[in-house]
Amino acid sequence: MKGKTNCLATLRNLLILGASGVAIATPAWSQEAATAAPDASTANDGSGLQEIIVTAQKRAENLQDVPLSVSAVTGETLERLHQQDLSQITATVPNVQVQVNGGLSLSASYVIRGIGIAANPSPYVGTEVGTVVDGVVASSNALGLSDQFDMERVEVLRGPQGTLFGANTTGGVINFITRQPTGEYGAYGQVTIGNYSRVDVQAAFNAPITDTLAAKVAVSHRSRDGFYTNLYTGDRIGGLNSTTVRGYLRWAPSSDFDATLITELRRMRNGTDVLLNIAYPGEIFYRPNTPYDFKVYSDVPDQHDTDTISTTLTINATTDIGKLTSVTNYSHYNTFGYQDIDGIDLYGYAQVGRDKGWQFSQELRNQMELSDRFQWLVGVYAQLWGYDSVGQGWTAFVDPRNISVNLANQRTTNLAAFTQIYWDITDRLRLQGGVRVSHEKVRLSEDASTWIQPNGTNPALGFGNLVGAIKNPYPADNMPATGRESWTNFGGKIGLDYKLTDDAMLYGFYARGFKSGGFNGRVTSAADIGPYDPEFVDSFELGLKSDLFDKHVRFNLSLFLNKWDNMQVNQVLYRGTPPQASSTILNAAKATTKGFEIEAEIVPSRFFRISGTLGYLDAKYDEFTVQASPTTVIDYSGRALVYSPKWNGSVSATATADVGGGTLDATLQYVYNGARWGNYTQAPSERLGAYNIVNANLNWSPGSDKWTIGIWARNLFDERYLSLALDAPPLFTEGLFGNPREFGVDLKFNF
């Protein structure tokens, strides 16, 4: 093991040294011509770099003309590198960390440049990195890890995006764009078989209905066993069983008008969300012989069910006053699942939860060309969302009769108006600026109660444990509570970009973003409900974007500084007897994050290309003290922010050859992610060590490109590493491993 570690450390050092000489680069994300389906976002003649069209500023632009840090991941790359969800792009986009939250397997913790919600997927927490799907901003991160099949591209915008995307985007935006109907008959898809009994079947079908009406259906079914073994039964737990169906209707009666209706249905019957017990001596759930592997003791049903439906209507109309765009969405979800909290060989602490949520949003914007040199975007936005949650915990380690019940519901209204201008001062110098005003109203009700079940509790009974149970009186400090508050906030941006040449641009900007205020929905003391106030991030960025040597070399560089004020910090407190979790958010800190990012790609010929990324991040609390007890104050000032590794990067190389009357290509990818902390408390058990991942794939297709067969492996050397760690004294430290080695074969078709 030591020899392997030294070898990987040497490889990492070579990577960093090589970055200085070859301009380490974008992660081979625009490297393939479309083989699975047409991709309108790219264009390439096969001899150089692709042009990638993005909508990061809510208008179609060449990626290299967008004056901000944005990386575009094509759908073909997601499929080719078998990135099933965005947790697998960690460190392949510089200074971007994505991990699955403990307690909700579909939720995503996005942290960009040190800014993001790191360890709490509950809807009341909100987001600091926004998730946008086909123009619709998600109200929470509870279901952020969506099925990536049939994506045209995923755009990762780094830095505050509050002007165009609204509140709760202080860290950035993950912008998903699905493939739209083509209006022609066609079908494409793939079948994948892999280890852990993995079977994925995915297909999409396009068809014209009339000359102006097109239809499309995309279906994806994924299944595999869980990575973890239940030591009680010997069975694998935490598996995946997910089916997604998207239906499209697109009506385009003229070049000046089109309307697209998209409905997505998702049905997931996954296994329980597994937590690894990594408690240390002195914590209640510490056991000296607990295996540090993909093995746990679980005494709850292996069940986590989710059903979602989302319908979006997008209308574009070119009129005398500009290009009008309307995006209307309604969606809702239901989840139900169990979790064994203690993870050790006794019935100690388990829970079950049910959540129901919904959102409605409407955006209307107009893009106007006032002259050849002046463009003006104006818009209004409204979003209403809410959720109802019921959770039940069984603290059998204190008393096998104890039941804690938490009820929460929230209703939020967000109204906003925004504008952005683009002024070409000269043929090479452009000014852009914008502002957004947002008014939000939040109401949250919370009820934490305790019950006694004379017959004792049993995780298999689920919510049935309350049958015959006796409710305890409310403590004087924890009666049911309701909070109401409203805030009006301003965000904005102003910047300049200058074309050094037709293929090189310098840019710089200042942006101010904000995260909404709110209330705490899982507390054991009524005084903790809040509210907590909005937080603000002031961001400064300088960058260079360039395509060199007749578009055979791409080199992008960005330097950034973020000043974070009135920072919302999630703190897990345990109150009462038996102790119950009180998840409390306080405006408790100031912080600074700064660093740089390099993305580049080298394409000497159509037979070979190399690309990669390099990110450096210095993210620390400037001011942060915590009242740890009535007599103890801890000062965390100067400590690193959570999920903020100093270094991260990747290198990808692809070689292509004509073999057997077809095309053979091989891709090798190396990913390095530095050491980081899972929580601000920085308990020894919360340190997440650096890791090195190697991914590989080999594909062959005949000259017709009608089908492709491939073999692939992710985490080829089966690196063991923690992706999440959270200390909850005096009980335990919970953690999650990153995915182990996965491999398989797939068959793609395109007709």
pLDDT above 90: percentage of residues in the chain: 70
Mean pLDDT across 492-510: 97
Q: Which two tokens stand for residue 148?
A: 């990536």
702 in a structural domain: yes
Rounded to whole angstroms, the Cα distance separating 155 from 86 reads 11
Distance, CA of 146 to CA of 164 (rounded, Å): 23
Mean pLDDT of the region 706-727: 93
Residues near 210 by Cβ (< 8 Å), separated by ≥ 6?
Answer: none
What CATH number is attached to the domain comprising 537? Answer: 2.40.170.20
With bands split at pLDDT 50, 70 and 90, how would you rate the model's confidence at 379? very high
85 pLDDT above the threshold of 80: no
Q: Give the model's pLDDT for residue 362.
A: 98
Asked, for residue 409, whether it belongs to a domain, the answer is yes
Q: Is the peptide bond before 578 cis (omega within 30 degrees of 0)?
A: yes
Q: How far apart are CA 475 and CA 588, in angstroms?
A: 27
Type of residue found at 205: F
- Of the listed ranges 76-80, 268-272, 431-435, the one predicted with least confidence: 76-80
Token couple for 411: 């209703």
What is residue 669's predicted lDDT score, i.e. its pLDDT?
A: 95
> Above 70 in pLDDT, residue 239?
yes
CA angle 643, 171, 671 (to 5 degrees): 45
Question: Are 514 and 405 a contacting pair, CB within 8 Å?
Answer: no
Q: Does the pLDDT at position 173 exceed 80? A: yes
Count of the separate structural domains present in the chain: 1
Contact present, 106 and 333 (Cβ < 8 Å): no
Side-chain-side CA neighbours of residue 429 (13 Å): 2
Mean pLDDT of 211-232: 95
User: What pLDDT is recorded for position 119?
Assistant: 66
As a whole number of angstroms, the distance between CA 354 and CA 693 comes to 36
Q: Give residue 546's domain range.
A: 2-371+390-750
Which residue did the predictor score with more confidence, 651 or 626?
651
In sequence order, what are the residues at sequence separation of 6 or more whose Cβ sits closer than 8 angstroms to the Cβ of residue 486? 439, 440, 441, 442
Q: Which residues lie below 8 Å from residue 480, measured CB to CB, with a gap of 6+?
A: 445, 446, 447, 474, 526
d(CA 477, CA 698): 62
Q: C-alpha distances in angstroms, 220 versus 131, 223, 353, 413?
A: 21, 10, 27, 34
More confident residue, 170 or 729: 170
Q: Is residue 384 part of a domain?
A: no
Highest mean pLDDT among 340-354, 493-507, 520-534: 493-507
pTM for the full predicted model: 0.90
pLDDT score recorded for residue 578: 60
Higher-pLDDT residue of 560, 18: 560
In a domain, residue 560? The reply is yes
Let me know if residue 164 belongs to a domain.
Answer: yes
Distance, in Å, from the CA atom of 359 to the CA atom of 126, rounded to the nearest integer, reads: 14
In a domain, 379, yes or no: no
Residue 47: DSSP 8-state: S
pLDDT band of 141, cuts 50, 70, 90: confident
Distance CA 280, CA 32 (A): 47
pLDDT 10s digits, 542-576: 999 999 999 999 999 999 999 999 999 887 766 66
pLDDT at position 40: 35
**Cα three-residue angle 648-649-655, rounded to 5 degrees:** 165
pLDDT of residue 45: 46
User: In sequence order, which residues have a C-beta less than 8 Å from that of residue 487 and are 6 or more positions away?
Assistant: 439, 440, 516, 517, 533, 534
| Residue 289 pLDDT exceeds 50 | yes
For residue 201, pLDDT over 90 is answered with: yes
Task: Examine residue 380 and state whether it is found in any structural domain, yes or no.
Answer: no
Reported as a pLDDT band with limits 50, 70 and 90, residue 369 is very high
Percent of the chain with pLDDT over 70: 90
Backbone angles phi, psi at 224, to 5 degrees: -165, 160
Q: How confident is the model at residue 11 (pLDDT cuts 50, 70, 90)?
A: very low
In a domain, 331, yes or no: yes
* Mean pLDDT taken over the chain: 88
- For range 718-742, the mean pLDDT: 90
pLDDT at 748: 94
